[in-house]
Amino acid sequence: MKIRKSISASAIGLLFGSFMLLSPAVAQDNPTLSDAEVAHTAVTANQIDIDYAKIAQERSKDAEVLKFAETMASDHKAVIDQAVALVTKLGVTPEVNAVSKQLLSDAEKTKEMLRTKTGAAFNKAYIDNEVAYHKAVIAAVEGLLIPESENAELKSLLESIVPALQAHLEHAQMVQKDLNGK
């Protein structure tokens, strides 16, 4: 199952957009992703958004922001549960890799930034980040994780989560518009 493909650093940089300008280690080592690494990256990306949602639930008092955060926590947990069920069935152990490490590293910085904000400034920062994050994750899933997946069931699972990510993005943009109007 473990198949390795080369992907160009420029392509990855493009896919992950502004939030994930890959570290020199990722960019210069001509990274490759096995199915175990794709699975780890997918689970990591979902867990990061759950973590953002938890911060929102702690810091926001805005009903619309709280409802959005609740949906993010619930939906991304459902995706992780499906991914874990699949890798368990396939006998694959998700592997830490340069891409998932970079995602975690960037997420730590974002979480630190969010924790410095309160009130309307927090709501704006959280929702702005959700818009940017979902754009980047959609690009990464469609342009990197799906093409890199060797196993058909893993590929199918990744394809099935794109509509949810798209709905999250549109929902975040809706909340963003409402917040800007307040």
Partner 1 sequence: MKRLKPWLLPTGLYLLCLFLSGATSPPVSPKVHTVEISRMQFNPQVLVVSMGDTIEFVNKDMVTHDVTESSGKSWKSPALASGAKWRLVARKTADYYCSYHPVMKGKIEVK
Interface contacts to partner 1, rule CB under 8 A = 67, 71, 74-75, 78-79, 82, 160-161, 163-164, 166-168, 170-171, 174
Q: How far apart are CA 102 and CA 146, in angstroms?
A: 19
Do 115 and 56 meet the contact criterion of CB atoms below 8 Å apart? no
Nearer to partner 1, 92 or 169 (CB): 169
Among 143, 180, 179, 181, smallest CA distance to 162 is for 143
Nearer to partner 1, 150 or 178 (CB): 178
Give the shortest CB-14-to-partner 1 separation in angstroms: 26
Give the shortest CB-166-to-partner 1 separation in angstroms: 7
Give the shortest CB-96-to-partner 1 separation in angstroms: 25
Give the shortest CB-93-to-partner 1 separation in angstroms: 22
Nearer to partner 1, 9 or 164 (CB): 164
Nearer to partner 1, 87 or 98 (CB): 87
Residue 91 corresponds to which amino acid? G
Q: How far apart are CA 60 and CA 66, in angstroms?
A: 7
Q: How far apart are CA 100 and CA 37, in angstroms?
A: 8
∠ CA 155-96-11 to the nearest 5 degrees?
A: 60
Nearer to partner 1, 5 or 67 (CB): 67
Among 104, 100, 113, 110, smallest CA distance to 148 is for 100
**Token pair of 82 as six digits:** 């499906």
Give the shortest CB-137-to-partner 1 separation in angstroms: 15
